Structures are given as C-alpha cells and as structure tokens.
Amino acid sequence: MNSFKFESNIEHHDVIDSTNLRAIDVIKSEKDIDWIISKVQTHGKGRVNKTWSSPHGGLYVTRIIKSDKINYSNLGQFSILSSVIVAKSVESFLSGKKVSLKWPNDVFIDDKKVAGILIQSITHKKRLFVIVGIGINVFKPYSANNEYSYIENFNRGVQLDLCFETLLKNLKEMINNWVYGLNFNEVKEFWLSRCNHIGKKIIVKTSNTSKEGLFESIDDNGNLLLLIDNKIELINTSNILIEESK
C-alpha cells in the first residue's frame, strides 16, 4: 500500500482568521498547498462551534489531506490517530512527563488543556478532503491566566519551529504505520494509556441531546463506548461535547 507522502507546500501567515477556514478556501481554489500556519488566529475554531484562543506564542496549523485512502469509513480512527500524533509531539518536549487525553482528541498536561484538534471534511469535485486543524499552547502569553497548560512551563528551551518539525515528522511516520486503518491496535493502545476518563461518569452533549453514562473504552473505529443502564451505547466522533459528571 502506498505510504503517506511528505509534501512541504506551506503557506505562512502572521495573522489569519482561522487556518481551517483558509484550508477550505485553498481546496475550493485548487491551490497546491498542504499546510497553513499562522502566528495568530483571530477566530480560531474549536469543536462544537467553540472558539480556540490563538494569541502569539502558540502553534496554529492546518494540514490538508488529499489521500483517497482516508475516507468516511476510517475517519473515526483518524481522529484518534491525530490526538496520538499531537500527544507524542507534545510529550517529546516534556522530559518524560506524560500528557492525558480526552475523547476524541483534546490533549492535557496536569488536567489543563495544552492542545486541541478540529477535524473537518469537505467534498470538492467528488473528492474527499480532510482538514486537520491543530492548536498547541507553546509559550504563555503575558495576559493569560492559569486555565491552560503551556509547553514552556516544562521546557524553557522549546521553540515553535522545532514543535512544527516534530509534528511534521510524527504525522508522516504515524499515518504510514497506521496504514489507513489496517494497523489501529497500536494507536488505540497508546490512546487508552493516556485517556483521562476511563471508568468515570461523563455527560455527552450534542446540539440537541445529552446523555450520562460510564466511559468504558473506545472501539476499533475510534467510537466511544458509553455504559448506560448496563447497556453499551456507541457514540461516534461527530460534533459532541464531553463533561465529567458531578
């Protein structure tokens, strides 16, 4: 099976509204661009229509994936894979300290969010494109409170360029190792080893529903297995929000 190709067509911005929104424009205009990176986002996008604070000091990138081998049948796995890629990239700067993961793809250090991922898909001329938006808190802005974690708190020598290079390397290697769904076990095992809510009561919210249950695990498609009244309910990685139950 063909491996994931490493392209290096990168579009740089000092300020942009959203790298994911720019990616949609790039796809529609059929420009040969693989990565969009910006020093600041004015309207960074998060999951469930939330905003992602994107001041100076963070790594804000979007990868446009054009491979025909990533499709709707393995997008759930790819969402989990993306969080593992980011988790391993962040951990490489933490001198042995481990991150924790919240389903499907938020990354935490000491229970404070350090990175988030927004995966979107768009069809253009009957071809599926996957847009992977990644935001990583690297340096702490002067005006920031203690709500989030920042890599520099654990590694004073960290550099934005090196964070991006590490992300590039891990993305290429891990997508090739994943083999587009044929080798998900290693990805799943790592994700479960970092998951911060296995066995905990959680609330799963969508735009119009709310379900409370016990987080059991994830299945081989990356779906959440939620135990409700002694029955397992499968929750996919669509537009949902998870909160810990009080």
pLDDT digits (tens, 9 = 90+) for 233-242: 998 865 556 5
CA–CA separation, 185 and 92 (whole Å): 22
Q: pTM score, two decimals?
A: 0.90
pLDDT digits (tens, 9 = 90+) for 35-52: 999 999 997 766 555 666
Residue 5 has pLDDT above 80, yes or no: no
- Total residues belonging to the chain: 246
Segment 193-216 mean pLDDT = 89
User: 146 pLDDT band (50/70/90 cuts)?
Assistant: confident
Structural domains of the chain, ranges and CATH numbers in brackets: 10-194 (3.30.930.10), 201-244 (2.30.30.100)
Mean pLDDT score across all residues of the chain: 88
pLDDT digits (tens, 9 = 90+) for 149-163: 999 999 999 999 999
> If you compute the radius of gyration of the chain from its CA atoms, what whole number of angstroms results?
17
Segment 92-115 mean pLDDT = 95
